[in-house]
Chain A
């Protein structure tokens, strides 16, 4: 499976600020996704990161709050804008690997204070 690295791994942020999370994959992948996992909860898909075009957002998530970039087939960023305590979550980058399986990065643990 692909090696998926995320930065930062953990951060404490002030409310009202924005934070950009980076996801780097060690091989080219066609599909990249961003998920959110709120404390003690399941995983929810935020958006599909499309290479060279705007991301496709799921219901309940908007570009102004979660802008996503994907400049090439190995890299993507997710920005969490104007953060509030409700944004405290694990943000997970994922990719579609061989046999169409989905693998997750290590996650970025964000706490908003």
Chain B
């Protein structure tokens, strides 16, 4: 089955700096790669996703890149703000089955 690795497990940045979280996957059949943000005590919220026919996608301060050859994808957050502090999960899946395999999560802390 699919295996998703995520790094780093914790990340501390100063407000205004950029944050990068990286994930690798093992199943070449995976073609859908969402990112979720989970604040303490709340459900995971989808923040951005990318499909295998696209190499990069951007939404305001958030961007995701995908390298299918190397089987890795990354989340980039620019101009970080304290409200970006949360746990971020990457995931991989196939579009039709919709089953997602999640990474282990990255706890991002944005300090003033």
Q: Please give the residue numbers on chain A whose beta carbons come within 8 Å of chain B beta carbons, in ascending order.
A: 31, 33, 41-45, 48, 59, 92, 96, 100-107
- A-B CB contacts (within 8 Å), total count: 47
A44 contacts which of B46, B102, B105 (Cβ < 8 Å)?
Answer: B102
Add 18 more A-B contacts to A42-B89, A101-B46, A107-B43 (CB < 8 A): A31-B98, A33-B98, A33-B99, A41-B104, A41-B105, A42-B103, A43-B100, A45-B99, A96-B98, A100-B95, A100-B96, A101-B34, A101-B49, A102-B34, A102-B91, A103-B46, A104-B36, A106-B43
A92 contacts which of B32, B43, B99, B101 (Cβ < 8 Å)?
Answer: B43
Closest to B45 in A: A104
Closest 7 CB pairs between A and B?
A: A96-B98, A43-B102, A104-B43, A42-B102, A100-B95, A42-B104, A107-B43
